[in-house]
Amino acid sequence: MPHFVLLCVDKPDSLDLRMATREAHLAFARGYGPRIKVGGPILSESGDMAGSLLIMEAEDISEARKFNAEDPYTKAGLWERVEIRPFRATVGQL
């Protein structure tokens, strides 16, 4: 199954929204089980959460887009921008 990387950048000054939605987001992501290969927050230079990076298995890019559309963070309006791209690991293992 192909892999996709989701790079999601928070809107400015949205840490409170992220924290209020975080448990719902984590529960949602856990629902995808082993198809989520790695995920976590992107940090600002000061160490605050400022976005998310996720690598997942999906049938195709439309399934990865559907995952993003249904994510509680997306529904809450957290993202300033989202990039979803096909990904192939060449170093390390997923």
Q: Which residue has the tokens 């192909």?
A: 2
Q: What is the mean pLDDT of each run of 10 residues along the chain (94 residues)?
A: 97 97 97 96 96 98 98 98 96 85
Cα gap 92→78, rounded to integer Å: 31
pLDDT the model gives residue 93: 81
Q: Which runs of E-coded beta strand occur in 1-94?
A: 3-10, 36-43, 49-57, 79-87
pLDDT the model gives residue 72: 98
The answer to whether position 20 is within a domain reads: yes
Count other Cβ atoms within 10 Å, centred on residue 4: 21
- The total number of structural domains in the chain stands at 1
pLDDT the model gives residue 67: 98
pLDDT the model gives residue 63: 97
Amino acid at 28: F
27: containing domain:
3-87
Is the whole-model pTM more than 0.75?
Answer: yes
pLDDT the model gives residue 17: 98
CATH of the domain at 72: 3.30.70.1060
